[in-house]
Structure 1
Amino acid sequence: MSNSSGLYILLVSVHGLIRGKNLELGRDADTGGQIKYVLELAEALAANPQVERVDLVTRLVNDPKVSSDYAQPVEVLCDKAQIIRLNCGPRRYLRKEVLWPHLDNFADELLKHLRQVGKLPHIIHSHYADAGYVGCRVAGWLGVPLVHTGHSLGRVKHQRLLEQGTKPETIENNFHISTRVEAEETTLASAALVIASTHQEVTQQYGIYDHYQPQRMVVIPPGVALERFYPIPENWQEPPIYDELKRFLTDPQKPIVMALSRPEMRKNVNTLVKAYGQDSQLRHLANLVLVLGNRDDITTMESGPRQVLTEIFQLIDRYDLYGCVAYPKHHKADDVPELYRLLVKTQGVFINPALTEPFGLTLIEATACGAPIIATSDGGPRDILAACNNGMLIDPLNIQQIQDALRTALTDSEKWQHWSTNGLNSVRKNFSWDSHVKHYLEQVQQLPQRRVQSLLSPLPQAPASRLPDWNVPEQNRLLTADRFLVCEIDNTLLGDQEALQRLIERLRTEGDTIGVGIATGRNLDSSLQMLEEWRFPMPDLLIVSAGSEIYYGPQVVTDTNWQRHIGYRWQVDEVRQAMQELPGVMLQPPEVQSKFKVSYFIDEEKSMSFKEIMRHLRRRRLHVKGIYSHNMYLDLLPIRASKGDAIRYCALKWGLPIKRFLVAGASGNDESMLAGNTLAVVVGNYSKEIEKLRSYPQVYFSQGQYAWGILEALDRYDFFGNLYATEPEMIAV
């Protein structure tokens, strides 16, 4: 990879089969135009001198049913771009609709990758709703601007399916549409920039979303690879794919009407076949070529493509179109530009009859080869035809319009030539990747002024408007820190203003490689309020509610994987009911309760002992962890949750040895993080229940109180230097 100075751009496209060569476009519903878009975008960005590195991150697939190419962790595309494949659920190839439960793990794997890179990307650019879900989390955790491209939208698809008569429950079962729409809403709320392909996409498609914010949206049409899609050269010869077409055609010399798409209901190819089959003049004028992905045995295909192809074959039979319709079973990516040139050679026309088309990459590819185009009036083709003036728009459900448009293109040679010339002259100006990247980078340069507060962890008690008043770092240090200081808030970090200010100054002047976190029994709102009151800089890591919640700054994004992990066998209602049976316990106020923490006041004169309370809960078969502090506070958590467990989870997640965490506390609430292999300090004003840790060799009891004790420990452990007592053989999680 190049070491030149410039932008580091991270592209995320989770689903489908992505590789640098021989794209299997049309193999299935997930391996279509988006795959081609992100691959060509990565290569085009890498070719720009302002860009240092491009990582295209996707899912690793290790499945004997697909090529072993998709199981390679790294594939170099060019000097500055590569495909990075990360684990995401099962190794086998899965359609995108069933990937949702695995996306949190994919986000964690992406963090590990960035940790290995050792630097923050300047932007994260997500593609489609699933990558938006991942991108929101990772960008929010790191404080990196998120750019998003939707490609197609769930609300629009839902509307179309309902209009076609599909039952709502069928839509939900097959497409998990509510999950997808929720991810899209969150992405729109969090993204600093949304890149759309057309103005119709911005106004009519994104416009139906609750978080529609057009001021953050920009139209940058996709580019076309002009080095592959170009007019017929002087030395051009008939391509091998032509021999495949000749097998179907009685008179292969006739002009070609060609449609190229996946076999998907939305592509509306069946209506095209009806229009052609019902018009004897069209059948006389031209052959129809249908390039509909790749297939071996139609009976083994998924139900959607199988249904589409079956209907098309039935229509071919009904209208007796044998000899004038070609529908090859296989084609390669390198065949596509040759098919367009063959179409031009025969004075044919390219048609996209889709019910809706977000953009239409095939239209600009055909245009770049000199082909006139006829396309649906719904979506991106409007912008393409407006820019290139090289064809006609049609109502995709109006058979008569389709027939008339095709007849015009095939019989008016002067208009055909006019359209062909217009397209060739306009496509390079409006739809080249060089032009796309130029506008793309212009927008990226403005992103530092367009940062937004993530809505992934809504804070009703802590208004987002409060956050900008703090000393918030531009980016999180979770990727670059090689050690971490994690402190309890009460009676540890806070309590002495002079000591706190001295600590802040030392971290600013000496702590370039140090991440800072808090681990507290307080809830998130209370923690943020206390930090603000004491003017402590926004931490990189927030472990709150006694270790039952983890957030990452500066945008305070929740770690959903941690919640899923600790939710194991957590029965909060049963815990509350069991505690009602005991004397001397009283629930603390509602504002200190949370989904994974139930907190009580304990009256030691009336209640049974802490050990007896925990035995009572165990007898009820409740998997609960209890934390007792200051002889009066009891927190009940899931069995997997505690401050110590949360710190170790973060250490594993971020790839940082636990020996590089210096933790500071003062009470029994802190015991789980002080004990173990962390570097630990108990500040001088500690509670007596933690005295038992004095015999632990790795726990330092300081003389200084509050932050003075933390400062004392920084020197004790040489925390800004070589980390005393962390010899190489001991640095392991």
Structure 2
Amino acid sequence: MELPRSQKSLYILMLSVHGLIRGHDLELGRDADTGGQTTYVVELVRALSRHRGVAKVDLLTRQIQDPQVSVDYAQSEEDLGYGARILRLPCGPKRYLRKELLWPHLDQMVDRCLHFLRHQGLLPDLIHTHYADAGYVGQQLSLLLGIPLIHTGHSLGRSKRERLLASGRKEAAIERQFHLSRRIATEEAILSHASLIVTSTQQEVTDQYGMYDNDRSRHYAVIPPGIDTSRFSMVSRRKPDARLEGEIDRFLSNPGKPLILTICRPDARKNLKGLLKAYGEDKRLQASANLVIVAGNRDDIRDLEEAQRKILCDLLLDIDRYDLWGKIAIPKHLSSDDVSDLYRLAASRYGLFVNPALTEPFGLTLIEAAASGLPVIAPDDGGPQDILGNCRNGLLVNTLDSSAIASALNRALEDKTQWRQWARNGIAGLKYHYSWEAHVAKYIKLASHLLHRERKRLRRQHAFSLNDGKSPLPLVQRVLISDIDNTLIGCKAGLEALISWLYQRTGSVAFGVATGRSLESTIALLKKADIPIPNVLITSVGSEIHYGSQLRADQGWARHICHLWRRAALAEALHEIPELELQTLDNQREFKLSYNVKSDRVPSLESLYRHLRERKLHAKFVYSHQQFIDVLPIRASKGLAIRYLAYKWGLPLCNFLVAGDSGNDKEMLIGDTKAIVVGNYSTELESLRDMEHVYFARNNYASGIMEGLNHYGFDEIPAKQAVPST
């Protein structure tokens, strides 16, 4: 029985970025990116939303505005019922892109997700991602928000690279086409971070994830997917569609014979060539059954992608070679409803479903066939071993051997008693092992344990923090960011008053620090001064951003500032300037070079920039305290880091209040932010005195910050802001 919506609590954010995703008439097989994963994800969302403990499930995917695809994929929101919906966010170009071309745009998807969460004012309890591209986005969100990540890989880069190499492809060519190095590195990072990896089979855990360096067996859960039994059912419950029969039978000279059915994308791994060879070289098989190959939808083979075009052209050439006209059907257009009817049609004629793939991680079509009362022939590798072990509804075969495929098909077609037993077994096994109800029950149980474990961990770790593990940044309306040395620290009474002020406003005001210190030095100093770990830490003069007590790195910022940054070349060029003395190794970072200078021998910044220009190098110099020069990427600084935060978290700059005392604070103190210069400031900031939104406090250190908070009325929470556009 459904619980009232008010008694439901769990909010799950699901991410599946690539392909074409909608809640009806899924275009399965349209291309390599719109296959079983789309069915899996949409049906999982629907099944989760019906569970009595789930209040809300959002499926986030990419918005596509392209005349080559349906306008459905341009809709920003699609309701799936029971509190579930598909949300489409802009990411990269408006046109449809294959998944290998999406990677440069995934950081934008991270930002769009953050803006969406701010706009709705609610954070999820769990993030669940599908495939490596969504896994990248979800991992960044998980790190930024402090929310547990569940991941389903569907297919893995290391396995794909091994198969392609085994097929004779060159490694360089594979990398150019699929960019597998980045994908595999992302998968390693996901494995290291995710709280739970969901797989469909044990073979996936041992043989596929076992290839990875970050393989951690305690974080896996084998939960086979279910199917929609309202679509896939046994013959007696629903007769095959007469229109579909006509569409298939028009190809066949003797349509009354059993149908050998296969459904897959036109992909070399699906081994359609091997199946056609098995059928084409066995006259007994041709005499006893017709062959139906559904290899996606097409208008004109010449309009398909090169790889798909080659598969289908080879298929047609082999049909002609074996002279199979009148014995084989290769329909051009079938809807998702047609597919379910096609299973029933094959079952009504005592046919078989065959999956001839060279390897099959799971095999969703196998359980669809089982639900329809259609026995199966499947690879003896991967997921089919589990499926046929559970359902006992067919034969496993070495699909590398075409004669073995033919032999298995002949054996299955000739024994009608065995065929009926397999049909009954498949229906029974499907109900017990592969229902979405069973899948969701196990999923929710594991998710509950995960969240309970996470809450216990947070209680242990966040006593010295201003939040409970989840970042407040998506929901707060104001942010206070302060320098540490000589600004936050220096007046004990003022600091205690400021910390008390922050604790009282937890959840409405976020707290951050911006410092020239390294992250390690910053943490040590904060702990020494009994300052709680801030919600955000901008360190190394704005070249690094981290979040919360777990110090989660903002990888998007690192990728943003690496533009034109050539650290080794810069160090070599600046070594030529005798007035610059390189600081100790602990002050050097990936995106920062730090030097000491003597106040009476400081080279002009203009001469330093000219020195770099002559060598075609790009960097930014920050001079502070009349004795230090920091060298940063041109996109890095405390001020630019704060502007990046404003965009990333969807807050206008006027809702940021910044406090500082020296020259390396100057850039963050000017512009649209509200600024406080504490009373003990360095003379480098005197030029800011007459600027709007820069308040010069009379009091020193943290007492000066408190004076500035009162001056700006920072307690007054502004109205909710609109999500910024880009």
Same fold (TM over 0.5): yes
Q: Deviations over 1:226-266 (max 9, x none)?
A: 11111124562534221111111011111111010101111
Query: Match for 1:716 among 703, 711, 718?
Result: 711
Match of residue 303 from structure 1: 306
Alignment of 1:435-514 (within 5 A): 435-449=438-452, 470-471=464-465, 473-514=468-509
Q: Which moved more, 1:79-88 or 1:28-37?
A: 79-88
Match of residue 644 from structure 2: 649
Q: 1:636 to 1:198 in 2, by over 3 A?
A: same
Aligned with 1:600: secondary structure? strand
Tell me how far apart the structure 2 counterparts of residues 580 and 170 of structure 1 sit (CA, whole Å).
Answer: 41
Alignment of 1:284-363 (within 5 A): 284-363=287-366
Q: 1:292 to 1:259 in 2, by over 3 A?
A: same
Could you tell me which runs of 5 or more consecutive residues in structure 2 were left unpaired when the two chains were aligned.
none
How far apart are residue 701 of structure 1 and its match? 2.5
How far apart are residue 628 of structure 1 and its match? 1.4
Query: Match for 1:662 among 657, 661, 664?
Result: 657
Alignment of 1:533-552 (within 5 A): 533-552=528-547
Tell me how far apart the structure 2 counterparts of residues 123 and 406 of structure 1 sit (CA, whole Å).
Answer: 45
Tell me how far apart the structure 2 counterparts of residues 728 and 538 of structure 1 sit (CA, whole Å).
Answer: 27
Tell me how far apart the structure 2 counterparts of residues 373 and 586 of structure 1 sit (CA, whole Å).
Answer: 74
How far apart are residue 269 of structure 1 and its match? 1.6
How far apart are residue 597 of structure 1 and its match? 2.1
Tell me how far apart the structure 2 counterparts of residues 612 and 337 of structure 1 sit (CA, whole Å).
Answer: 74
Amino acid at match of 1:703: R
Match of residue 133 from structure 1: 136
How far apart are residue 343 of structure 1 and its match? 0.9
How far apart are residue 3 of structure 1 and its match? 7.3
Q: 1:157 to 1:71 in 2, by over 3 A?
A: same
Q: Deviations over 1:162-221 (max 9, x none)?
A: 222211112111111111111100000010000000010011111111000010000000
Q: 1:253 to 1:732 in 2, by over 3 A?
A: closer
Aligned with 1:445: secondary structure? helix
Match of residue 518 from structure 2: 523
Q: 1:589 to 1:320 in 2, by over 3 A?
A: same
Tell me how far apart the structure 2 counterparts of residues 431 and 55 of structure 1 sit (CA, whole Å).
Answer: 23
Q: Which moved more, 1:425-434 or 1:708-717?
A: 708-717
Kept after mapping to 1: 8 A contact 2:395/2:408: yes
How far apart are residue 152 of structure 1 and its match? 0.5
Match of residue 251 from structure 2: 248
Q: Deviations over 1:549-568 (max 9, x none)?
A: 22333543333333343334
Q: 1:229 to 1:581 in 2, by over 3 A?
A: same
Amino acid at match of 1:515: A
How far apart are residue 351 of structure 1 and its match? 1.0
Q: 1:670 to 1:372 in 2, by over 3 A?
A: same
Tell me how far apart the structure 2 counterparts of residues 484 and 247 of structure 1 sit (CA, whole Å).
Answer: 69
Query: Match for 1:701 among 678, 681, 696?
Result: 696
Tell me how far apart the structure 1 counterparts of residues 725 and 133 of structure 2 sit (CA, whole Å).
Answer: 34
Tell me how far apart the structure 1 counterparts of residues 237 and 289 of structure 2 sit (CA, whole Å).
Answer: 25
Match of residue 602 from structure 2: 607
Q: Does 1:151 align with 2:146?
A: no
Amino acid at match of 1:198: T
Q: Normalized against structure 2, the TM-score is what?
A: 0.94
Alignment of 1:35-46 (within 5 A): 35-46=38-49
Match of residue 637 from structure 1: 632
Amino acid at match of 1:98: L
Q: Does 1:204 align with 2:199?
A: no
Kept after mapping to 1: 8 A contact 2:60/2:89: yes
Match of residue 588 from structure 1: 583
Tell me how far apart the structure 2 counterparts of residues 484 and 628 of structure 1 sit (CA, whole Å).
Answer: 26
Match of residue 559 from structure 1: 554
How far apart are residue 727 of structure 1 and its match? 13
How far apart are residue 94 of structure 1 and its match? 1.3
Aligned with 1:334: secondary structure? helix
Amino acid at match of 1:365: E
Tell me how far apart the structure 2 counterparts of residues 481 and 319 of structure 1 sit (CA, whole Å).
Answer: 69
Q: 1:535 to 1:192 in 2, by over 3 A?
A: farther
Kept after mapping to 2: 8 A contact 1:583/1:608: no
Q: 1:289 to 1:610 in 2, by over 3 A?
A: closer
Alignment of 1:360-371 (within 5 A): 360-371=363-374
Aligned with 1:253: secondary structure? coil
Kept after mapping to 1: 8 A contact 2:353/2:374: yes
Kept after mapping to 1: 8 A contact 2:35/2:265: yes
Match of residue 689 from structure 1: 684
Q: 1:717 to 1:607 in 2, by over 3 A?
A: closer
Query: Match for 2:377 among 368, 374, 379?
Result: 374
Tell me how far apart the structure 2 counterparts of residues 414 and 292 of structure 1 sit (CA, whole Å).
Answer: 31
Q: 1:229 to 1:617 in 2, by over 3 A?
A: same
Q: 1:623 to 1:209 in 2, by over 3 A?
A: closer
Q: 1:722 to 1:256 in 2, by over 3 A?
A: closer
Q: Which moved more, 1:162-171 or 1:494-503?
A: 494-503
How far apart are residue 614 of structure 1 and its match? 4.6
Q: 1:17 to 1:390 in 2, by over 3 A?
A: same
Amino acid at match of 1:165: G
Tell me how far apart the structure 1 counterparts of residues 237 and 6 of structure 2 sit (CA, whole Å).
Answer: 41
Q: Which moved more, 1:112-121 or 1:499-508?
A: 499-508
Kept after mapping to 2: 8 A contact 1:584/1:605: no
Q: Which moved more, 1:212-221 or 1:348-357?
A: 348-357
Q: Does 1:51 align with 2:54?
A: yes
Match of residue 100 from structure 1: 103
Match of residue 281 from structure 2: 278
Kept after mapping to 2: 8 A contact 1:659/1:732: no
Aligned with 1:304: secondary structure? helix
Q: Which moved more, 1:576-585 or 1:257-266?
A: 576-585
Q: Which moved more, 1:63-72 or 1:466-475?
A: 466-475
Tell me how far apart the structure 1 counterparts of residues 408 and 234 of structure 2 sit (CA, whole Å).
Answer: 23
Tell me how far apart the structure 2 counterparts of residues 538 and 233 of structure 1 sit (CA, whole Å).
Answer: 65
Aligned with 2:601: secondary structure? coil
Could you tell me which runs of 5 or more consecutive residues in structure 1 were left unpaired when the two chains were aligned.
453-465
Q: Deviations over 1:22-67 (max 9, x none)?
A: 1110001000000111111111111122111111111111111111
Tell me how far apart the structure 2 counterparts of residues 310 and 612 of structure 1 sit (CA, whole Å).
Answer: 65
How far apart are residue 611 of structure 1 and its match? 5.2
Amino acid at match of 1:486: I
Aligned with 2:473: secondary structure? coil
How far apart are residue 715 of structure 1 and its match? 2.7
Match of residue 621 from structure 2: 626
Kept after mapping to 1: 8 A contact 2:269/2:359: yes
Q: Which moved more, 1:361-370 or 1:73-82?
A: 73-82
Amino acid at match of 1:524: L
Tell me how far apart the structure 2 counterparts of residues 614 and 312 of structure 1 sit (CA, whole Å).
Answer: 63
Kept after mapping to 2: 8 A contact 1:30/1:95: yes
Q: 1:30 to 1:235 in 2, by over 3 A?
A: closer
Q: 1:637 to 1:304 in 2, by over 3 A?
A: same
Q: Deviations over 1:569-614 (max 9, x none)?
A: 4444454444344342211122222233222111122333455545
Tell me how far apart the structure 2 counterparts of residues 55 and 688 of structure 1 sit (CA, whole Å).
Answer: 53
Q: 1:610 to 1:268 in 2, by over 3 A?
A: closer
How far apart are residue 709 of structure 1 and its match? 2.3
Kept after mapping to 2: 8 A contact 1:141/1:556: no
Tell me how far apart the structure 1 counterparts of residues 175 and 521 of structure 2 sit (CA, whole Å).
Answer: 39
Q: Which moved more, 1:670-679 or 1:346-355?
A: 670-679
Q: Which moved more, 1:578-587 or 1:647-656?
A: 578-587
Match of residue 9 from structure 1: 12
How far apart are residue 115 of structure 1 and its match? 1.4
Match of residue 416 from structure 2: 413
Aligned with 1:215: secondary structure? helix
Aligned with 1:479: secondary structure? coil
Q: Does 1:193 align with 2:196?
A: yes
Q: Does 1:673 align with 2:668?
A: yes
